[in-house]
Amino acid sequence: MKRTTLILSIGFVLLWNSGFIGAEYGLPYTGPFTLLFWRYLALTLIIVFYLLARNRLRWVGWKVAAPNMLIGVLAHGVWLACVLLALEYQVPAGIVALVVALQPLATAAFSGLVTGERTNLYQWIGLVLGFLGVVFTVSFRMDFESYTSIFGYLIPLGSVIAITAASLIQRRIEVKKETKKLPLDLELFYQSLATTLALTLPAIFIEKLSTQWEPEFIYSMVWLILGVSLGAYALMWLLIERIDATRVASLFYLGPPVTMFMAWVAFGDKVRLTDILGLTIVFIGILLSQLKIKKTSSMY
């Protein structure tokens, strides 16, 4: 791997996984739906100004826009809402990242059912092993006498389901070519716009847009918008231009250990031996899922 590619890879991993930490910094000042609403409203406006400046903003028709908007709601809105809700229920950021790491495994295993591509035995074994690794870790963290604790640790599974569905829709578009693929900037615009619209109702009617505009909250929002939504996303596509998408997708597997380390530095979250053992089991599952067939990719 060339030095530039290595630097881009390190930058992407750090920026992407800092999203868990940035979100945890912002949550004391607002609710999860409101935080995401402000984040994606600002992101949508930034992209609109960019597209207007380049004379690229246009309506592409519902046939093209609808799948991209659905992907946005699932891969951004539902995925991140579940992540933030879990953090609000005091689930450690590293554990949330570990549960979410099931997504590439689930995408690999179920892609055959959606796209017609062959799913091999290793991918199914990898998914089962990865799931067992998560169950092992979470079972030592969860307070089985508290319904709140049980619910909190189950919430990230919603993230896995949502982003897996989004990944499969995206993969079907790429394989079947039933829908025209949009340029990156327009694709992100429609996804961000749909996410903002989907978050409007819960942010207003559940949380009443209640926000404490303290400097710490503003800093975390600036980081989430510029550093994560734009910075990490841009680095991901720069990497895809240099190396194949499968190798870029493999960088997502570094999420749990990197997030655990960041959470330890930022919040003093303790890493237990059972966390490490569960993480090891998940990684073995990931390695198995990558054998023989390496065509599925993670997104966002």
Residue range 263-275: mean pLDDT, rounded: 88
Work out how many domains the chain is built from and give that number. Answer: 1
Q: Is the pLDDT of residue 104 over 80?
A: no
- 294 part of a folded domain: no
Return d(Cα 202, Cα 174) in angstroms, integer.
32
- 297 part of a folded domain: no
Residues spanned by the domain of 11: 3-289
- 53 part of a folded domain: yes
Residue range 182-209: mean pLDDT, rounded: 94
More confident residue, 265 or 249: 265
Helix 32-53 × helix 184-201 angle, to 10°: 150
- 300 part of a folded domain: no
Residue range 210-231: mean pLDDT, rounded: 94
> Could you count the other beta carbons within 10 Å of the beta carbon of residue 91?
23
- 298 part of a folded domain: no
How would residue 242 be classed by pLDDT, with cut points 50, 70 and 90? confident
Instruction: Give the mean pLDDT of the chain.
Output: 85
Give strand pairing partners of 252. Answer: none
Q: Is the pLDDT of residue 295 over 50?
A: no
- The pLDDT score that the predictor gives to residue 296 is 42
Q: Is the pLDDT of residue 73 over 90?
A: yes
- 296 part of a folded domain: no
Q: Which of 254, 229, 101 is nearest to 164 (CA)?
A: 101
Q: How much of the chain exceeds pLDDT 70, in percent? A: 89
Query: At residue 115, what is the residue type?
Result: T
Residue range 238-259: mean pLDDT, rounded: 72
